[in-house]
Structure 1
Amino acid sequence: MSSTPLQAIADNSDKLVTTLERPRERIVKSAIELFRQHGIKGVGVDAIAEAAGSNKMTLYRHFGCKDDLVCECLKQVSSEKERIWTDLENTYPGDPAKQLRGWVDEAAQRIFNDLRGCDLVNAAVEIKEAGHPAQKVIMDAKKAHVQHLVELCRMAGVQQYEQLAQALVLLVEGARVCGQSIGIEGPQQRLKQTCDALIDAFSKH
């Protein structure tokens, strides 16, 4: 009998995790990858445990339920995304204007290189249950990212820095949706040029 996609991933779990990682780390890493490929609701704890080279007992020892695991995965994804601010500062030290352009470049590369979209946005679309703990994780992460961008626009000398940051977020999030719904040749191809033109327009005031 042929294996299902989830079974195939579990059978090749060595590609997702390394034996040097602790069980908790392996579980989270495997869950993040499986959620990206199949969606949060499309993956059960059995498949996650198997892909991590572990078992359900160990999984539940580290996470009380699947919702707890989902929240931890989203927190780690958010933490990874937040590294962009440090990376931009290291790449363009003392130059907020170039850091802002660098943010645009990085956002465009993410959209073009990964048509699966943003893990946080995808989770928000999937998880509609009122009061689900993941909703707060997503909201807090997105607000923090926007606030970082607002501060960067301010430091770059833009007078209407909040409006510019919000407009850039709208463009990037819209481009992600276009990439997923229209395909690689969609209007998101103009993202960088549009963002640069918007920054130029705000900078002139």
Structure 2
Amino acid sequence: MPEPEEEARPGRATRVAKLPPRERILDAAEELFHAEGIRGVGVQAVADRAGTTKAALYRHFGTKDALVAQWLLIVAADYVAAFDRVEERWPDEPLAQIRGVAAFVVDTLSTVSHRGCPFINSLAELPDRDHPARRVIETHKARQLARLTAMCAAAGLTDPEDAAAEITFVFEGAQVSVQNGSVDRVGERLVAFVEAVLVRHGA
């Protein structure tokens, strides 16, 4: 039987109510941080949305900063899984893997256009380089770039590091552009730019 402070409050959706308290808190944090920003959301609001209490939130995560970092670890895991999927689908075709990653980024642009990129939004709100959530983002981005560089090297591109950096620039730029609405046909242009990078580097 759940502890009294972690019982779901009346009126919550059945699916959410059946989740363990920790997962309810993470679901609530994701929804609120996306909609209102990290600094605009207090732990009480997260607890209320999760149908639990501040005491339960602190027991599971310790601090709000740790909750933010855990949420971003989950977001980062989605990108890691996307790289895993393209490598599994095209195990010996690094060019196809690069194109598969680009297709994944294009697919995510509709979400970014409505809610913003969680990494970009979080970096804007967390100027302290020692914040645990910033460290999550920086570590994730470094690993993602290294993985993309390895794909470029496996594809025999003339300068894998430069190629991976250029592709990363277009991924990041596309997310910002679709978020602020400054450029149209972002997905189409992203794919064309990635193809141009591959050709320029000898694909």
Shorter-chain TM-score tier? 0.7 to 0.9
Distance 2:10 2:186 in 1: 39
Normalised by the size of structure 2, how large is the TM-score? 0.86
Distance 1:112 1:76 in 2: 19
Q: Aligned residue for 1:61?
A: 59
SS of structure 1 residue aligned to 2:55: helix
Distance 1:194 1:103, change over 3 A: same
Distance 1:12 1:37 in 2: 21
> What root-mean-square deviation, in Å, do the aligned CA atoms of Structure 1 and Structure 2 show?
2.2
Stretch deviating more after TM superposition (158-167 or 123-132): 123-132
- 1:19-168 paired onto structure 2 within 5 Å: 19-115=17-113, 116-129=115-128, 131-168=130-167
| Number of residue pairs the alignment of both structures matches | 194
SS of structure 2 residue aligned to 1:158: coil
SS of structure 2 residue aligned to 1:18: helix
In 1, are the aligned partners of 2:26 and 2:71 still within 8 Å (CA)?
yes
Distance 1:94 1:149 in 2: 15
In 1, are the aligned partners of 2:112 and 2:179 still within 8 Å (CA)?
no
**5+ residue gaps, structure 1:** 1-9
Q: Deviations over 1:61-111 (max 9, x none)?
A: 112211111111111111122101111022223211111111111112212
Give the fraction of aligned pairs with identical amino acids, expressed as a percent: 32
Distance 1:183 1:19 in 2: 40
**5+ residue gaps, structure 2:** 1-8
Stretch deviating more after TM superposition (62-71 or 109-118): 109-118
Distance 2:184 2:120 in 1: 21
Q: Aligned residue for 2:184?
A: 185
Question: What residue identity is the alignment partner of 1:150?
Answer: T
Distance 1:184 1:74 in 2: 27
Normalised by the size of structure 1, how large is the TM-score? 0.85
